[in-house]
Amino acid sequence: MNTAMPIESPEPLREERVPKNYITESRTLKSWLFTTDHKRIGILYLFSILFYFIIAAIAAALMRMELITPAGDMVTSETYNKLFTIHGTLMVWFFLIPSIPAVLGNFVLPMMLGARDVAFPKLNLLSWYLFNAGGLLAVYAVTFGGVDTGWTFYTPYSSTFSNSHVVEMAAGVFVAGFGTILTGLNFIITTHKLRAPGMRWFRMPLFVWSLYSTSVIMILATPVLAMTLALMSIERIWGVGIFDPRLGGDPILFQHLFWFYSHPAVYIMILPGMGVMSELVTCFSRKPIFGYHFVAFASVAIAIMGFLVWGHHMFTSGQSIYAGLVFSFLSYMVAVPSAIKVFNWTMTLYRGSISFATPMLYALGFMGLFTIGGLTGLYLAAVGFDVHVQDTYFIVAHFHYIMVGGMVTAFMGGLHYWWPKITGRMYPEKLGQLAALIMYLGFNLTFFPQFILGYLGMPRRYHAYAPEFQIYNVMSSAGASILGVGYLLPLLYFLWSLKYGKKAPANPWKATGLEWQTPSPPPKHNFVETPVVTGPPYQYSAEAAEAEFTANEKGEAYG
Amino acid sequence: MKFPVFPPEASEVARHTDHLLFALLTISAITMVVVFGPMIYFLFKYRRGNKADRTPVELPEMKIEITWTVIPTIVFVGLFAWGARVYWRIERPPADAMEINVVGKQWMWKIEHPEGNREIDELHVPVGRNIKLTLASQDVIHSFFLPAFRVKQDVVPGRYTTLWFRADKIGTYHLFCSEYCGTHHSAMTGSVIVMPPEAYEQWLKQGAPGPSMAQEGEKLFREYGCSGCHVNSTIVHAPPLNGLFGRTVPLQTGKFVTADEAYLRDSILIPSKDIVAGYTNDMPSFQGHVSEEDLLKLIAYIRSLSDTTPQQEGAEAK
Amino acid sequence: MADAHAALQEQFEEMPQQKEAATLGMWAFLATEVLFFGAMFMSYIVYRTTYPQAFAEASHHTIVLFGTINTAILLTSSFTVAMAVHAARQNNIKWLFRLLAITVFFGLAFLAVKGLEYHEDLNENLWPGPHFKSELPPQAQIFWILYWIMTGVHAVHVTVGVVLLSIMAWMTSRRKFSDAYYTPIEISALYWHFVDIIWIYLYPLLYLIHRYSA
C-alpha cells in the first residue's frame, strides 16, 4: 500500500453524480439527428407525427365549420375538396400508420424483449428520414395548391381529370411507405432474434404480438400501395393508359390494387392499439390477461384474414355479385378475432383490483368506442345494407369510431402509460382524467350523429348538403370543438410536465414487463445486464394490490 | 326541431333494408348489454378499495373461448345470409323492367327515356313499375344513389352498370351522386319523380315528342357507316345484326358470350376484343368518335332489330 | 477471429445471432419485393386475360434476341455469384473478389443490352402515347406500358444489385471478409438471385407470347 500522501480526488462534477440516461447522454442536435438509439427515434417520430396531425386537424376543423350550414358558403368547392383530401391523406399515412408502432413501438419494443436496441438501428433512423422526406413532399403538395382526389386517389379522376398536385402527394406517400416497410422489417427481425434469454414466444407481452402482426402486414401490403400509386402517377405524367377506359384500361383494377393494400392498412392502424389495450387492462386491474394464447393468435388471425376482405370497399363499384358475396362472408369472419379480444379484456377485469388512472380511462374508452365501431362494421359487412350506406356518412362515422375512438384513444392511453418511462416525469393525473372524459364526450357528439346522417342518405365528401341534414351536422360540429379541447389539454400538460411534472420512479405503475425494470428515463443501452425471463407476462395479483391499498391509507393516485 | 332518422321508405327493397337495419340494431343492443353489462358490473364491484372476493379462480378457459368464438360466428353467418338475401334482390333486375338510360358526366345526370324524352337531373317514373337504369359515364366514376329506395350503383367509364328499383309511393325523392367526381360533386344531385301511371303517360307525350331512342339510333347507324358493312354488303363479310340482341354468340377463341348491351358497346369501341367465329378482325374502332349517348341510341336500335325490347313486352303485358 | 468481433454490432450478443438476423432480414425484404412486383404481375394477368390477342400481337414486337441474351447473362451471373459465396466459404478471397467482379460485369452487360433494346423499341414507336405504332390495336399500348414499367423497375433493381455487389467487391479487396465472416456477401447474393428470378418470369410473359405456337 502506498504510504505517501493520498492525492485528493477533485469533487466530482454535479452531472457525473446523476447517472446519464438516453436523453442526457448527449445534448447536441447532431446527436439527435444522427442517433441510432431506438428510444430517441421514437421521440423523433413523436414530434413528426404531431406536426402532420396538426395540419390535418386544422383541415378537419375548417370542414366542420363549413358543414354547420347546408350551403357551401365558407370556402369554395375546390378548397373543400382539397381539405378532405389533405385531412385523409395526412391522417392515414402521416399520423395513424406510424403513431403507435413508430413512437411507442420503437421506444418500448426492444425493452419489452430485454434487448439493447432493434435489429437494424441504422435502418431505423433511415425509416424516420424516409418518413419525413415523404412528409415533405406531402406538405409541398398541400402548400402549393393542394390535392383534391380524396385519400383514395380513384382513377380516372386522379390520373386524367384532376388539376391538383396529385403526383407530389402520391410520391410523398410512396416514399413514406418505405419508411413503414423498414420499421416493420426491423420489428419482425427484432422479435425473432433479439429476445432476452428465457423470453419464449408465449412469454412475450401481447403488445409485442400485436406489433409483430402489424409488421407482417406493413411489409407485405405497403409495396402494393407503392406500385399502385406509381402506376397511377405514370398514367398521369405520361398520359398513358393503364386504368384509362379509353384505351381499354380498367378503373376498377385501380380500386382492387388500392384496397388490397388499404384494407390491411386499417389493421396496421388498429392492431397496435389492441396491443396497448392488453398492457393497460392487465396493469390497471392487477390481473393476468384472460386467454393469453387466444389474444395472441387473434392478432395473427386478424393480420392474415385482413388480406382477404378488400372487396368490401367495392360492393357498389361494379364487381360481380359473387365477388360481393365472398367478400361479405370473409368480412364477417375477420370480425370474429376482434370480438374475441374484447371479450378477453372484459374477462380480465373479473376479480381484479381496478384503478381508474388516466391510462385506464382511455382503455375503457377504447372498449366502448371500438365496440361500437366494430359493431357497425357488422352492418357494413351485410352486403345488402352496405349498398345503401356505402359512400355516405355512415362509413365516415364507422371508420372514425375505429380510428379515432379506437386507435387514437389507445395511443393516448399508451402515451400516458409510458410517459414516465420516456421522460422521467409524471403528467398531472387529474387533468389527464379530465381530458380523457372531454375527449370521450366530444368524440361521441361529433361522430354518432354521422351514423344517422349516413342512413338518411347524406353522401360523404359533400361540400353542400340537403337542408334536412343540418341538425346532425350542427351537432357533429359542436362535438368537434369539444374534441379539439380534449386534444389540446394533453398537448399542453405533457409539455408542462417536461419541466414541472413530478419525477417518476422506475416503475410508477408497479407494472410487470421488462421495460419497467430500468430507470425512468432509461440509460442508452436499456439494461445494465441482459435480463433473464423465467415466467409468463402479467404476473399481477389483485389480492396483493388490494392489501397494499388498504394498508396504505393515503391510497396511491396511480397504479 | 325535426330529427329525421329514416329516409322515406318508397319501395319494397327499402323496407327489406330497413328490416335488416332493425335486426342489426337489435343484435347490437344485445351485444352491448352482454359486453358492457358485465364490464360495468366488474368495474363497479372490483374497483380498488371495494371489498370483494378477489381470490384467483381457475376458469375453464378453453370452453369459454370456444363458446364466445362459436356463438358470434354463428350470428355472423346469419347476418351474412340476411344481407346476402337483400343484396341478391337488389342486384338482379326483373326481366320485365322498363329500361331507361342514364349518362353521368361532371356534374349532371342526363336521362333518356326509350320514347325519346330527355331530362337533366330529374327522372320521371311511373309508380308500381319495375325500372331498370343502364348507367354510363362520360368521364370519371360517379355513383347513382337513391336513398328512398336504398339503392346505389357506381357509374364507371368504359362500361355499363345497371340499377333497378320499383317505386310504390308517389312523391319526389333525392338523387345524389355518391362517388367523388371532382369540384362540383356535391352539386350533382337531382330528383326522382314518381307519378301515377296515367300522369306518367301524359308527361311522356308532353315531354319531347320526337323520335324514340331506337329511331335516333337508326339514323346514327347510317350516319356512322355501320349499315355499309352490316347490311347486305357484297364487299365486306360482317356479322348480321337482325335478331342478334340477347343471342349467344360463338367467338373465334371458342368461347361463347351473350350479346347484351356490354357486348354491343365493346364491339363498337374495341372490335378486336371479341371477334365472332368465322369472321376476321376488320372492323375499325369507333373509340373517341361516338359519344356515350349516341352509343346508347345505337344499342337501342340494334335491340329493336330483335323485337325483344321490354317496351313492347311491357306494352303487351299491360 | 479479430475480423469477426470487429463486425459484431452492439445490439447483438454474438455473431451467429447477427448473421441469422441479417439473413432473416434479407428474406423479409425479398418478400416485400415479391409484393412490389406482384402488383405489376397482377395487372399484367388481368389485362392479358381480357385482351389475349392484343397482347400476343404486342409481344411479337419485342426483340426476342435481346431478351434471350439477357436471360443467359442473368442466369450465368447467378451462377457466378453463387460461386463467389462458395469461394468465401472456402476462404478463397482471391476468387471471391474475381467472381464478384465477374458478376458485376454481367450485371452491367445486362443493362447495356437493355439500353440497346430500349433504343430499338423507341425507334419502333413502341412508347405508349399519341405516337404509338398505329398498326397495333390500342389495347397493345397496355402491354407496352407494362413492358416499360416492369422491365424498367427490374432494371432499377439490377442497378441496385450491381452497386451492392461492387461495394462487396471493394470490401473484399480491403480484407473485410473471410470464412469466419462473409454474411454481407451471402445476403447480397440472395438479393441478386431474386433479381434473376424476377427476370425468369418476365422473359416468357413479355417475349414469348404465342411466338412459336402452331
Tens digit of pLDDT for each residue in A166-191?
999 999 999 999 999 999 999 999 99
By the CB < 8 Å criterion, does B204 face chain A? no
**Cα A313 from Cα A398, distance rounded (Å):** 13
Instruction: Write out chain C residues lying below 8 Å of B273, CB-based.
Output: 50-51, 54, 139
Q: Which of A160, A189, A192, A237 to mutate to test the interface with C (most CBs of C within 10 A)?
A: A189
pLDDT, tens digit, 9 for 90 and up, residues B58-76: 999 999 999 999 999 999 9
> Could you tell me if B200 and B225 lie in one domain?
no
- Number of separate helices (H) and strands (E) present in chain B: 8, 12
Q: How far is CA A432 from CA A230, A288, A413, A441, in A?
A: 43, 25, 10, 14
Chains that touch C (3 or more CB pairs under 8 A): A, B
Long-range Cβ pairs for the range A293-296 (8 Å, 24+): A293/A202, A294/A340, A294/A344, A294/B65, A295/A206, A295/A209, A295/A340, A295/A341, A295/A344, A296/A202, A296/A206, A296/A209
**Cα A126 from Cα B305, distance rounded (Å):** 67
Interchain contact, C137 vs B272, CB within 8 Å: yes
Residue A231 within any structural domain of the chain: yes
In this complex, the residue of B253, B272, B287 whose CB is nearest that of residue C54 is: B272
Instruction: Write out chain B residues lying below 8 Å of A249, CB-based.
Output: 158
Residue B219 within any structural domain of the chain: yes
Pick the residue from chain A with its C-alpha nearest to B31: A375
Interchain contact, A391 vs B179, CB within 8 Å: yes
Q: How far from chain centre, in Å, is Cα B96? A: 16
Q: What does the block give as the cell for A557?
A: 393516485
Residue A300 in this model has a pLDDT that exceeds 60: yes
Domain C35-207 has CATH 3.20.20.100: no
**Cα A339 from Cα C83, distance rounded (Å):** 53
Judged by DSSP in three states, A469 sits in: helix
Instruction: Write out chain A residues lying below 8 Å of C129, CB-based.
Output: 238-240
How many residues are present in chain A?
559
Residue where one domain finishes, among candidates B40, B67, B91:
B91
Interchain contact, C10 vs A525, CB within 8 Å: yes
CA angle A174/A179/A181 to nearest 5° reads 90
Instruction: Write out chain B residues lying below 8 Å of C51, CB-based.
Output: 272-273
**Cα A94 from Cα A86, distance rounded (Å):** 11
pLDDT score of A554: 58
Mean pLDDT of A476-480: 97
For residue B10, give every residue at least 6 positions away whose Cβ sits within 8 Å of its Cβ, in sequence order, or none.
B148, B149, B167, B168, B169, B171, B173, B194
How close A190 comes to chain B (CA, Å)?
30
- Confidence category of residue A8, pLDDT binned at 50, 70, 90: low
- Confidence category of residue B143, pLDDT binned at 50, 70, 90: very high
- Confidence category of residue B271, pLDDT binned at 50, 70, 90: confident
- Confidence category of residue B287, pLDDT binned at 50, 70, 90: confident
- Confidence category of residue A135, pLDDT binned at 50, 70, 90: very high
Q: How many domains does chain B contain in total?
A: 3
Mean pLDDT of B145-166: 96
Question: In this structure, how many other beta carbons lie within 10 angstroms of the beta carbon of residue A408?
Answer: 25
pLDDT score of B171: 96
ipTM score? 0.92
- Confidence category of residue C201, pLDDT binned at 50, 70, 90: very high
Residue A13 within any structural domain of the chain: no
Residue B127, domain CATH: 2.60.40.420
pLDDT score of A556: 54
**Cα C124 from Cα C66, distance rounded (Å):** 15
Q: Which of C53, C134, C135, C136 to mutate to test the interface with B (most CBs of B within 10 A)?
A: C53
Instruction: Write out chain C residues lying below 8 Å of B287, CB-based.
Output: 138
Residue C3 in this model has a pLDDT that exceeds 50: no
Residue B285 within any structural domain of the chain: yes
Judged by DSSP in three states, A180 sits in: helix
- Percentage of chain A beyond pLDDT 70 is 96
**Cα A212 from Cα A187, distance rounded (Å):** 6
Pick the residue from chain B with its C-alpha nearest to C49: B273
* Total-model pTM: 0.92
Dihedral sign, Cα of residue B251, residue B256, residue B260, residue B262: negative
Q: What does the block give as the cell for A99?
A: 403513431
pLDDT, tens digit, 9 for 90 and up, residues B90-112: 999 999 999 999 999 998 999 99
In this complex, the residue of A356, A383, A461 whose CB is nearest that of residue B83 is: A383
Instruction: Write out chain C residues lying below 8 Å of B285, CB-based.
Output: 137-138
**Cα A191 from Cα C8, distance rounded (Å):** 19
Interchain contact, C141 vs A240, CB within 8 Å: yes
Instruction: Write out chain B residues lying below 8 Å of A463, CB-based.
Output: 185-186
Whether residue A425 contacts residue A504, with contact meaning beta carbons closer than 8 Å, is answered with: yes
Residue B289, domain CATH: 1.10.760.10
Q: Up-side HSE of residue B180: CA atoms within 13 Å toward CB? A: 25
Interchain contact, A257 vs C43, CB within 8 Å: yes
**Cα A433 from Cα A438, distance rounded (Å):** 9
- Which residues 24-63 in chain B show a CB within 8 A of chain A? 24, 27-28, 31-32, 35-36, 38-39, 42-43, 46-49, 52-57, 59, 61
Mean pLDDT of C129-140: 86
Pick the residue from chain B with its C-alpha nearest to C135: B284
How close C78 comes to chain A (CA, Å)?
25
Residue A351 within any structural domain of the chain: yes
DSSP letters for A220-238: HHHHHHHHHHHHHHHHHHH
**Cα C12 from Cα A116, distance rounded (Å):** 8
Judged by DSSP in three states, C183 sits in: helix
Q: How many domains does chain A contain in total?
A: 1
In this complex, the residue of B273, B281, B287 whose CB is nearest that of residue C51 is: B273
Residue A18 within any structural domain of the chain: no
Dihedral sign, Cα of residue C78, residue C79, residue C82, residue C83: negative
Q: Are strands B130-137 and B248-250 parallel, antiparallel or unpaired?
A: unpaired
pLDDT, tens digit, 9 for 90 and up, residues B186-233: 999 999 999 999 999 999 988 766 788 899 999 999 999 888 888 888
Q: Name the nearest CA neighbour of C40 among A249, A181, A227.
A: A227
> Could you tell me if B160 and B82 lie in one domain?
no
pLDDT score of B87: 96
Owning domain of residue A45:
30-551
Which residue shows C-alpha cell 451471373? C77
pLDDT, tens digit, 9 for 90 and up, residues A437-463: 999 999 999 999 999 999 999 999 999
Pick the residue from chain A with its C-alpha nearest to C33: A223
CA angle A381/A384/A388 to nearest 5° reads 95
Considering just the CA atoms, what is the radius of gyration of chain A in Å? 24
What's the order of all strands across the beta sheet hosting B161-166? B118-120, B108-112, B98-105, B130-137, B161-166
**Cα C101 from Cα C165, distance rounded (Å):** 8
> Could you tell me if B202 and B217 lie in one domain?
no
Mean pLDDT of A227-235: 95
Instruction: Report domain extents, chain C.
Output: 35-207
Residue B189 within any structural domain of the chain: yes
Residue B2 within any structural domain of the chain: no
Residue A14 in this model has a pLDDT that exceeds 60: no
Whether residue A38 contacts residue A124, with contact meaning beta carbons closer than 8 Å, is answered with: yes
pLDDT score of A20: 86
Interchain contact, A222 vs C40, CB within 8 Å: no
Interchain contact, C139 vs B273, CB within 8 Å: yes
Rounded to the nearest integer, the mean pLDDT of chain C is 93
Q: What does the block give as the cell for A150?
A: 380524396
pLDDT, tens digit, 9 for 90 and up, residues C48-98: 999 988 999 999 999 999 999 999 999 999 999 999 999 999 999 999 999
pLDDT, tens digit, 9 for 90 and up, residues C157-197: 999 999 999 999 999 999 999 999 999 999 999 999 999 99
pLDDT, tens digit, 9 for 90 and up, residues B115-137: 889 999 999 999 999 999 999 99
Q: What does the block give as the cell for A462?
A: 359533400
Interchain contact, B21 vs A385, CB within 8 Å: yes
For residue A237, give every residue at least 6 positions away whose Cβ sits within 8 Å of its Cβ, in sequence order, or none.
A167
- Confidence category of residue C1, pLDDT binned at 50, 70, 90: very low
For residue B254, give every residue at least 6 positions away whose Cβ sits within 8 Å of its Cβ, in sequence order, or none.
B277
pLDDT, tens digit, 9 for 90 and up, residues A366-378: 999 999 999 999 9
Q: How many CB pairs under 8 A join B and C?
A: 18
Owning domain of residue B77:
12-48+59-91
> Could you tell me if B187 and B222 lie in one domain?
no
Instruction: Write out chain C residues lying below 8 Å of A525, CB-based.
Output: 10
pLDDT, tens digit, 9 for 90 and up, residues A420-444: 999 999 999 999 999 999 999 999 9
Residue A9 within any structural domain of the chain: no
- Confidence category of residue A555, pLDDT binned at 50, 70, 90: low
- Confidence category of residue C6, pLDDT binned at 50, 70, 90: confident
**Cα C178 from Cα C92, distance rounded (Å):** 8
DSSP letters for B150-207: TEEEEE-TTS-EEEEEEB-S-EEEEEEE-S--STTGGG-EEEEEEE-HHHHHHHHHHH
Q: How far from chain centre, in Å, is Cα C33? A: 11
Residue B138 within any structural domain of the chain: yes
Q: How far from chain centre, in Å, is Cα C56? A: 25
Backbone angles phi, psi at A148, to 5 degrees: -130, 30
- Percentage of chain A beyond pLDDT 90 is 90
For residue C10, give every residue at least 6 positions away whose Cβ sits within 8 Å of its Cβ, in sequence order, or none.
A116, A117, A525
**Cα C14 from Cα C12, distance rounded (Å):** 6
By the CB < 8 Å criterion, does C142 face chain B? no
Q: Name the nearest CA neighbour of C103 among C204, C191, C181.
A: C191
pLDDT score of B120: 93
Q: How far from chain centre, in Å, is Cα A121? A: 22
Q: Up-side HSE of residue C15: CA atoms within 13 Å toward CB? A: 13
Interchain contact, C46 vs A253, CB within 8 Å: yes
- Confidence category of residue A7, pLDDT binned at 50, 70, 90: low
Residue A188, domain CATH: 1.20.210.10
Instruction: Write out chain C residues lying below 8 Å of B272, CB-based.
Output: 51, 53-54, 137, 139
Whether residue B152 contacts residue A390, with contact meaning beta carbons closer than 8 Å, is answered with: yes
Describe the crossing of helices A409-423 and A106-113 by its angle, rounded to 10 degrees.
70
Interchain contact, B79 vs A381, CB within 8 Å: yes
CA angle C28/C32/C34 to nearest 5° reads 110
For residue A503, the cross-strand partners are: A425
Residue A9 in this model has a pLDDT that exceeds 60: no
Residue C2 in this model has a pLDDT that exceeds 70: no
pLDDT score of A293: 96
Residue A559 in this model has a pLDDT that exceeds 50: no
Interchain contact, A242 vs C43, CB within 8 Å: yes
> Could you tell me if B225 and B302 lie in one domain?
yes
Residue A11 in this model has a pLDDT that exceeds 80: no
Q: What does the block give as the cell for A100?
A: 403507435
Residue A469 in this model has a pLDDT that exceeds 60: yes
C27 cis-preceded (ω within 30 degrees of 0): no
Describe the crossing of helices A251-285 and A321-349 by its angle, rounded to 10 degrees.
10
Residue A440 within any structural domain of the chain: yes
pLDDT score of A248: 83
By the CB < 8 Å criterion, does C210 face chain B? no
Instruction: Name residue A547's amino acid.
Output: A
Residue A402 within any structural domain of the chain: yes
pLDDT score of A2: 44
pLDDT score of A74: 94
Residue A202 within any structural domain of the chain: yes
Considering just the CA atoms, what is the radius of gyration of chain B in Å? 27
Instruction: Write out chain B residues lying below 8 Å of A81, CB-based.
Output: 180, 182-183, 185
**Cα A44 from Cα B182, distance rounded (Å):** 37
Residue B275 within any structural domain of the chain: yes
pLDDT, tens digit, 9 for 90 and up, residues A301-313: 999 999 999 999 9
Instruction: Name residue C173's amino acid.
Output: S
Instruction: Write out chain B residues lying below 8 Å of A248, CB-based.
Output: 158, 270, 273
Residue where one domain finishes, among candidates B207, B229, B244:
B207
Instruction: Write out chain A residues lying below 8 Å of B73, CB-based.
Output: 333, 336
- Confidence category of residue B313, pLDDT binned at 50, 70, 90: very low
Residue B135 within any structural domain of the chain: yes
Q: Which of B266, B270, B275, B287 to mutate to test the interface with C (most CBs of C within 10 A)?
A: B270
Q: Which of C30, C43, C136, C139 to mutate to test the interface with A (most CBs of A within 10 A)?
A: C43
Whether residue A294 contacts residue A220, with contact meaning beta carbons closer than 8 Å, is answered with: no
Residue A1 in this model has a pLDDT that exceeds 80: no
